[in-house]
Chain A
């Protein structure tokens, strides 16, 4: 039986590192048509070469003027979009600082990447996602969340509050677009052995952390379950 992701058009932001990289690799292996976005051209080229068929897009979701160029390359190269994974994240300055010690500009930058960027990109791609839903392919937006979105961890103020905003945005969006057939998920991948986690908690023992490949697989199973609930075979 074909994999549920076979032929599914998926875009992943922050696709060259950590969780995003693991998502891209598993999606390509499972037959998805993948476009991924990241800021560093050399790394984008390298990941595209390592994952034949994946489309690499250079862009920064935190930059307003990058959003439409990113969106048109995603829908242009894939011919539409079924799944958007807003994965790119900014932890803010490290070592992690108390909120009152956090510079306003740093907070703004974290929100630009973690909230406003996904908001802008999702908005620009809503038409493509809704079209996919109308055509019975299912449409899912997965926003990567964190337990810091729910729990008030000292030192995680900028990141945690931005993820809380994204989490709530996701739920409101889901309510508003459920009739359109576009579903929004906000999922916490858990503590992973990634560059971001190492920056936040340098003393953590990587052996105690989840592998990003494991987290990516769990997240994709959740997306797959949602697609299977929604998708109606063409003509069915």
Chain B
């Protein structure tokens, strides 16, 4: 697949590969997504807005440059904004492939970092030289203000221009809790939501702190995805229940929605509302309890996202679909094309 190099959420030529229930492969413009909905289907998206989670500054003990990418936090509570797990890089920026980024200066507990207006202290070293937990100085409002003025969206070298928050917030973005955009949701705009209603289908959301997708380090990437807190509104849990009763399908927009819904599913297929933390990976061995179908970006073999798709499709069909994506020039990464697996 080709890398999507421009930060355009809904390019006019965006493509969609549909894998229907009979495992036919259908190529359509992505705007035709809603035509595959039926009355009583429920489309669920992640309404997390994306944090400007890349912070550059100085490692005070050595005076050397550092970039920290915030990568996890214990809960979604707005006041619980001072402690994060973070991945640290040495000098360089997103123009350099993460694989090529030097290690940060050796980090130790109590080291202080000056990140623009923000000051942080390293609290713990985690399972890797790049991975730490840190705590910001000041009040929660100070941290929000510092992130807002100094942080930049996390980005990778396949994009050349610097991303702004408006590039990475979906139209439905609400609470700013994601570390990278829940990019499957780029397909949605207010017109599409209106079209979903016209198809007599319904729309609901969860909030899930989508984590970082890659660190460039194989050892660290094996730990991904990190634990991700989520919130499921009562109204969404109720909508899932009603969809079940009416025989509709639960269609997840993006892998984060699958993670949250399946984590909150009870063994008999009901959904707990409220707060939770999604652990572990979803893959071919996962028995999906709540989600019937997924609208997702295109994903390359070997990624955790690709593995998640194996929970929806037998390997032979997924292989066939991936070959089609390659052959037809589908674009990948966050601003790429999409697949709908019914």
Interface residues of A (CB under 8 A from B): 55-58, 68-73, 75-81, 124, 126-128, 130-131, 134-136, 176-177, 179-180, 234-235
With A131-B172, A136-B235 given, can you name 13 additional A-B contacts, CB distance below 8 Å?
Answer: A72-B147, A72-B148, A72-B176, A76-B78, A76-B148, A77-B141, A127-B173, A128-B173, A128-B174, A131-B47, A134-B204, A134-B205, A234-B235
Give the residues in chain A near B176, CB-CB below 8 Å: 72, 75-76
- Inter-chain CA distance A69–B175, complex, in Å, is 13
Residue of B nearest to A130 (CB): B172
Tell me, yes or no, whether B217 is within 8 Å of chain A by CB: no
Name the residue in B81, B176, B207, B234 with the highest tally of chain A Cβ atoms < 10 Å from its Cβ: B176
- Asked if A126 and B171 make an inter-chain contact with CB atoms under 8 angstroms apart, the answer reads yes
Other-chain residue from A69, A77, A79 in contact with B149 (beta carbon distance below 8 A): A69
Number of residues on chain B facing chain A (CB within 8 A): 38
Give the residues in chain B near A177, CB-CB below 8 Å: 190
- Asked if B190 and A131 make an inter-chain contact with CB atoms under 8 angstroms apart, the answer reads no
Tell me, yes or no, whether B220 is within 8 Å of chain A by CB: no
Which residues of B from 232 to 264 have beta carbons under 8 Å from A? 233-236
Chain A contact residues: helix, strand, loop or mixed: helix
Tell me, yes or no, whether B145 is within 8 Å of chain A by CB: yes
Tell me, yes or no, whether B311 is within 8 Å of chain A by CB: no
Give the residues in chain A near B190, CB-CB below 8 Å: 126, 176-177, 180
Other-chain residue from B77, B194, B235, B236 in contact with A79 (beta carbon distance below 8 A): B77
Give the residues in chain A near B332, CB-CB below 8 Å: none
Which residues of B from 152 to 207 have beta carbons under 8 Å from A? 164-166, 169-176, 190, 193-194, 197, 203-205, 207
- Asked if A76 and B81 make an inter-chain contact with CB atoms under 8 angstroms apart, the answer reads yes
Tell me, yes or no, whether B105 is within 8 Å of chain A by CB: no
Give the residues in chain A near B197, CB-CB below 8 Å: 179
**Nearest 6 pairs of A and B residues by beta carbon:** A69-B148, A68-B165, A79-B78, A128-B174, A131-B174, A127-B173
- Residue-wise interface mask of B (44-87) relative to A, using a CB-CB cutoff of 8 A (1 in contact, 0 not): 00010101100000000000000000000000111001000000
- Inter-chain CA distance A128–B170, complex, in Å, is 11
With A126-B190, A134-B233, A176-B190 in contact, is A78–B171 under 8 Å at CB? no
Tell me, yes or no, whether B140 is within 8 Å of chain A by CB: yes
Residue of A nearest to B193 (CB): A180
With A69-B149, A72-B148, A235-B234 in contact, is A77–B78 under 8 Å at CB? yes
- Inter-chain CA distance A70–B144, complex, in Å, is 10
- Inter-chain CA distance A90–B78, complex, in Å, is 32
With A127-B169, A131-B172, A131-B174 in contact, is A72–B78 under 8 Å at CB? no
Give the residues in chain A near B170, CB-CB below 8 Å: 127
Residue of B nearest to A176 (CB): B190
- Inter-chain CA distance A108–B205, complex, in Å, is 38
Name the residue in B81, B141, B205 with the highest tally of chain A Cβ atoms < 10 Å from its Cβ: B141
**Residue contacts A-B, CB under 8 angstroms, 15 given:** A68-B165, A69-B165, A73-B141, A73-B148, A75-B176, A77-B78, A77-B144, A131-B172, A131-B175, A134-B204, A134-B236, A135-B233, A135-B235, A176-B190, A177-B190
Give the residues in chain A near B141, CB-CB below 8 Å: 55-56, 73, 77
- Inter-chain CA distance A124–B173, complex, in Å, is 8
Other-chain residue from A73, A75, A124 in contact with B175 (beta carbon distance below 8 A): A75
Give the residues in chain A near B233, CB-CB below 8 Å: 134-135
